[in-house]
A and B are shown apart, each in its own frame.
Chain A
Amino acid sequence: MAALFLLPALVLLGALVVYPIGYSVVRSFYDQSGGGFAGFDNYEALFTDDGIRTALKNNVIWVVFAPTVATALGLIFAVLTERVRWGTAFKLVVFMPMAISMLAAGIIFRLVYDQDPDKGVANAVWVGVHDTFAQASAFPKAHPGRESPLEAAPGGGFITKATVSAGTPVVLPLVGVAPDQMPDDAKAAVQAKADPDSITGTTWQDFTRGKGVGTLGGVDASELGYAGMKIEAVKDGKVVASTKAADDGTFTLPAAAEGARLKLPADNFKEPYNGLDWLGPSLVTPSIIGSYIWMWAGFAMVLIAAGLAGIPRDLLEAARVDGANEWQVFRKVTVPLLAPVLAVVTVTLMINVLKIFDLVFIIAPGSSQDDANVLALELYRKGFSEDQPGVASAISVFLLLLVIPVMWFNIRRLRREGRR
């Protein structure tokens, strides 16, 4: 009779769990087409293929960092929210990301990590912080046009090919500054007047909208002066005089600069800081782990908060009466009492992290998917885009082997808990 009642469950379990696992194991010993027995070839590929090796390495990084950081954050949130008046509201907010699917979270974070600071929040913040300490220059991307009297200077910036002398106005034309990036106080450029006692000249954007350069190396009516451009006179590698261009691009240097070459130093042209390459090869895995923690810290917090509610208050009180400060109470009483819950949360997250796929698949752009690779993603790629079902099955069996000890640990703990 019991067997009869068990039958539906057994059939379902067999068809949905046992059979697929068994078939995967069998399939992992066959070759690509499934026709020939391949022995351990697929498993050999597992440990020799570069893509899989990166995936393995990343999986280790994931398993080590994601669950621990999420649990630690969850613990902090849980302990702190116990004490604030709006604790429940705070908990609700932290837990909210759990209500979002991995896919949606992935799309959100793809935007958060966007390289362009105008789009990606992460870089917007980063660039904002960076720019408060280091100002961007006014003329990024300015460069000499055709037949320019300027050439690239060693160590950045531009320098005149010829030396300058008083009485002959110098022209320092550049091109390539976007009109909307020109300084607001820039005025129409003016040809500098010759002065026998000092070096004069103009530095300006030698580019007329709609007409190209206009007069090459000559000031045209609608061309703007490079207001605030720094100019140095360099003689024998030493700066002998320096000045800044006026709003109309004109500048004057003392007679000491006679015979020097004029240099536009590199800090005129410093590129605007573009923030970090969050999804580039080196940062992509930590970035994605960050988004995972954003999702799962709330989960850890709720479980830990539940555990926290079960801690006898008198123990904490007793510790306080005995003169322990809050940190000691947390460190020596709360955490040890919470240890079982913390272990369960960490282990649950570990299982969850081992099979991580969606976030990596969605957040990592195609160009760095290789660097962000994890086993589950490699399984998918091998199985569905490279048509290597044998290797894919081997990966899945390997993943199963990885999960088993963690599962076993969890089940044992649950059983012990049940007995208590």
Chain B
Amino acid sequence: MRSTSSKNRTGRAARAAAAVLAGALALSLTACGGDGDDDGDEQGGSGNEETAGAVTLPKLNGESLEVAAVWSGAEQENFKKVLAEFEKRTGAKVTFVPAQDPIINFLGSKVAGGQPPDIAMLPQPGAIKQAVDKKWAKPLGADAIKELQENYSQGWQDIGKVDNKQYGVYYKAANKSLIWYNAKVFENAGASEPKTWDELLSTAQTVYDSGVTPFSVGGAEGWTLTDWFENIYLSQAGPEKYDQLAKHEIKWTDPSVKDALTALAQVWGKKDYVAGGATGALQTDFPASVTQTFTGGDQPKAGMVYEGDFAQVNIVQAKAKVGTDAKVFPFPAVGDTAPVVSGGDAAVILQDSKAAQALATWLASPDAATIQAKLGGYLSPNKNVDNSAYPNEVQQKIAKALIDSGDDFRFDMSDQAPQAFGGTPGKGEWKALQDFLKNPTDIAGTQRKLEADAAAAYGN
């Protein structure tokens, strides 16, 4: 089309395409060949077991594994170091496969293509269940389960189970009940760390009076908004209602949801409480919402930003020091007790093999978690990870809070919901809360929309 003069073009293009295709075929052929001898020398050198750490791993020379996860940037780099240690100890070769959100659909296309990764890191209990229902996931072997039971509290084991069978190893946890604040702003304003919701509101007012917008909200991504809601709801309505709402056993039109949205509107709906206003917040993605809180010297765009421990990665990118420039307090109690909402990524085996089982065992071990803990920006639900492994006081505090909550934590609600409701940009809960951020007076309308979307997604 573009070169109307060249009659030759079609011929040339076809030849080029043929060449490219030939190359691609050759590549995929070799890939298949590589896979073929997976089970060839399984017993290779398993004679001398590794004894360096507490966890025992078989020798896996010549084995190769693929691990898929959605992590990028520093998180991915750090995880690769953990994989490298596994390679060193066992001799297996592990390749990291970068996946896209939602990972379950990414895996769907991989499984359909006959090339699933050996292990995938699934962020939601719902996704694990889906993977089991579709018969992709393979249960953990005895070694991995033993390692898991030694190191994990019952609550963390249970959310990796489907129908009483252990499928997932929660390798990574997130404490999503934290509010980060710019220490300088608080100092200038003479504000203090709040313990209750009312104190949070008066702290916000003090910060606002000092000339700084109190909150930064990353509203371009819906999940930050659902996390806000979940903390308020868990604390206000209590864990039982939280579980019911997560399973959609009570409707979103329930009065408890109304109360939570009303509380939320006290922050989102107040003029000038959200950096950039609602329209600005809706265009702020999560990393920017963190960096704008910790850049700008005495005059940052906002004084506080709500999000989980992983916000540290972005704080460091903003050249702020965690613990001195950036401090943290637990999400204040809206009801009787302060909420602990957590998230996490579970390793699930998709292609059962000795090597995959060994890797799952490795990821359940304190040795693996300690490596990444030291690198920062990471939290392990593994109770045998020494608290001193975390690089700074703040991280130690967060880790301690998570481990101390024992089995009282609740898993991120939107992560438990079906993908279409709780995890798709521009749809379901994400979109409904974005609309609510734009128009915080419309509580009843938001509830109706949430219920309609939830009913469609849960199919009840």
Which A positions have Cβ atoms within 8 angstroms of B? 8-9, 12, 16, 51, 114-116, 141, 143, 145, 175-181, 207-213, 274, 277, 279-280, 303, 344, 348, 351, 365-370, 373, 381, 384-387, 410, 414, 417-418
Contact = CB atoms under 8 A, between A and B. Distances in A.
Nearest to B11: A9
B17 interface: yes
10 contacts: A210-B189, A210-B190, A212-B190, A280-B283, A365-B285, A366-B222, A367-B219, A381-B426, A387-B105, A387-B420
B430 interface: yes
Contacts of A370: 426, 431
Contact of B206 (A212, A373, A418): A212
Contact of B419 (A180, A209, A387, A410): A387
Nearest to A119: B288
A178 B188 CA distance: 11
Contact of A145 (B190, B209, B272): B209
Contacts of A51: 427
Contacts of A211: 190
B282 interface: yes
Contact of B425 (A116, A179, A213, A369): A369
Contact of B220 (A207, A366, A387, A417): A366
Contacts of A366: 220-222, 285, 425-426, 430, 434
A351 B189 CA distance: 58
B282 A178 contact: no
Given A178-B212, A280-B279, A386-B424, 11 more contacts: A115-B280, A176-B208, A176-B211, A177-B211, A207-B211, A212-B190, A212-B209, A344-B1, A367-B434, A384-B109, A385-B419
B283 A181 contact: no
B12 interface: no
Contacts of A414: 1, 4
- Closest CB pairs A-B (n = 5): A178-B211, A212-B190, A175-B209, A367-B282, A365-B220
Nearest to B106: A384
B299 interface: yes
B209 A207 contact: yes
Contacts of A180: 298-299
Contacts of B135: none
A116 B430 contact: no
B214 to A, nearest CB: 11
A284 B187 CA distance: 40
Contacts of B105: 384-385, 387
Given A179-B211, A213-B209, A8 B18 contact: yes
B441 interface: no
A12 B21 CA distance: 9
Contact of B1 (A116, A141, A410): A410
A178 B299 contact: yes
Interface in B389-416: none
B279 A115 contact: yes
B335 interface: no
A348 B2 contact: yes
Nearest to B108: A387
B102 interface: yes
B14 interface: yes
A51 B425 CA distance: 12
A210 B108 contact: no
A386 B419 contact: yes
Contacts of B434: 366-367
A115 B279 CA distance: 9
A207 to B, nearest CB: 6
B239 interface: no
A279 B283 contact: yes
Nearest to B278: A367
A418 B2 contact: no
A210 to B, nearest CB: 6
B2 A303 contact: yes
Interface in B10-43: 14, 17-18, 21
A12 B17 contact: yes
A399 B7 CA distance: 28
A348 B212 contact: no
B409 to A, nearest CB: 27
Interface centre among A114, A303, A367, A418 (most CB of B within 10 A): A367
Contacts of A176: 208-211
A385 B211 contact: no
Contacts of B283: 114-115, 279-280, 365, 367-368
Interface string B201-232: 00000101111100000011110000000000
Given A141-B211, A279-B283, A348-B1, A179 B427 contact: no
B194 interface: no
Contacts of A384: 105-106, 109
A177 B283 CA distance: 25
